[in-house]
Amino acid sequence: MKEKISIDEFDDKKFNARFADENDNRKAVITHYLHNYHNGVKDYFQEEATEYIKQIVDYKNEEEKLNVVEEDALQQLLFEVEDVPFRTPENYSFQFIDLFAGIGGFRLAMQNLGGKCVFTSEWDKSAQKTYRANFGEVPFGDITKKATKNQIPKGFDVLCAGFPCQAFSIAGKRGGFEDTRGTLFFDVAEIIKEKQPKAIFLENVKGLRNHDQGRTLATILNVLRNDLGYYVPEPQIINAKDYGVPQNRERIYIVGFRNDLGINEFEYPEPTNQNVVLEDILEQNEVSVKYYLSNQYLSTLKAHKSRHEGKGNGFGYQIIPNDGISNAIVCGGMGRERNLVYDDRLTNFNPVTKIKGDVNRESIRKMTPREWARLQGFPDNYIIPVADASAYKQFGNSVAVPAIQATAEKIINLLDL
């Protein structure tokens, strides 16, 4: 039996204490190296990755008196990275990077179209866990750091980013590249300037269009078009409900092509006109009692809604009919109560009280994390390795995969990749 070694070895406290001065992206470097082991991108991460693997092998042999061989460790780590639900397409036709990656909605869409991800970044540790479980990679962390940007390979085709919306300090200025400093868009623009991808695909909340009285979006377009040299058609609001998922979710998409490619027109995808309703994505089997609202909580929601009805300052609650579509799911707050459903299949007793008396008699429950995943177009073999609270946040923060894929397909077709 060979001694076992895993990516998780790099979380060992004694190991990290010994190498405290090392880059905190150690697991990201190694998993990116392994994920690209069978192509040229491997070379970009190889020097650092092989040094880190040697460190952990030497540490394990010294601390635990093992006899781990580096080549065996490499093969075990390689298997671990590749033994995931969503591997790179074998005959991929283009390369992309995934910034502000969340849990990989962009990546799912791009891989479905034959793309290979060569770099990903996401600072949230819980989202990193979910990303790794499904794609085998640990995303790099803070993209605002120079050390993180330096890890991005050259020569990729498409930059994908769902960056947060921030205001710029542009009073009395023309609203150019320098005026975006201190914002996350500046970091995206800096990467575009340095790496010169053929195309860019940015996603943001609908409110970006009117953010700071329209100055934020105007600055972004000015930077992309005039400072960075990209053809950028007018951004478009895309609604997830038009692309095969029962969720009323509007987001702004910004697409761009490097000017030297000679692309000067782009058409966003037409709605697919699929008649998908909530019933199509609800759990087929009885769900846990924990998702049902208690009588007391349901009464609280009703009272709150009654007090604030028509005042515009109360979320209230909303029950979505089975033949309807959900409201947009959100990452925090009380978003789960805006998408309640009727479900009278509950037969199990409450495991805490041993009775059903505290479950509301109207059989109203919250949607499950798996149902939220389906609202965003994530397939059922997508692994949810985190607790419900984190899962709701992650899916609420994510992108609607079918809408992203429909738009990305238009981009890839124009690039002829």
Is residue 26 within a helix (H) or strand (E), and if so which, with residue range?
helix 26-35
CA dist., res. 335 & res. 35, Å (int): 36
pLDDT band (50, 70, 90) for residue 311: low
**How much of the chain, in percent, has pLDDT values that exceed 90?**
61
Is 165 catalytic? The answer is: yes
Q: Is 90 exceeded by the pLDDT of residue 175?
A: no
pLDDT at 349: 54
Tokens of 72: 């065996």
Question: Alpha carbon of 70 to those of 3, 53, 395: distances in Å?
Answer: 11, 7, 38
Instruction: Return contacts of 293-302, CB within 8 angstroms, 24+ apart.
Output: 293/340, 293/359, 293/360, 293/364, 293/365, 293/366, 294/358, 294/359, 294/360, 295/357, 295/358, 295/359, 295/360, 295/361, 296/358, 297/360, 298/360, 298/362, 298/364, 301/337
Q: What is the largest CA-CA distance in the chain?
A: 70
pLDDT at 277: 96
| pLDDT tens-place string over residues 324-364 | 999 999 876 556 788 999 998 877 655 554 445 577 778 89
| pLDDT tens-place string over residues 245-270 | 999 999 999 999 999 999 999 999 99
pLDDT at 163: 84
pLDDT at 1: 43
Identify the DSSP state of 269: P
pLDDT at 172: 46
* Amino acid of residue 248: N
End-to-end CA distance of the chain: 45
Indicate which residue of 117, 160, 165, 331 is catalytic. 165
| pLDDT tens-place string over residues 21-50 | 656 789 999 999 999 998 878 999 999 999
| pLDDT tens-place string over residues 199-248 | 999 999 888 888 878 888 898 999 999 999 999 999 999 999 999 999 99
Q: Domains of the chain: which residue ranges?
A: 7-81, 85-271+400-415, 284-367
| CATH (one of 3.30.2320.80, 3.40.50.150, 3.50.50.60, 2.40.70.10) for 85-271+400-415 | 3.40.50.150
Q: Is 70 exceeded by the pLDDT of residue 176?
A: no
Q: Is 90 exceeded by the pLDDT of residue 373?
A: yes
pLDDT at 168: 58
pLDDT band (50, 70, 90) for residue 166: low
pLDDT at 289: 86
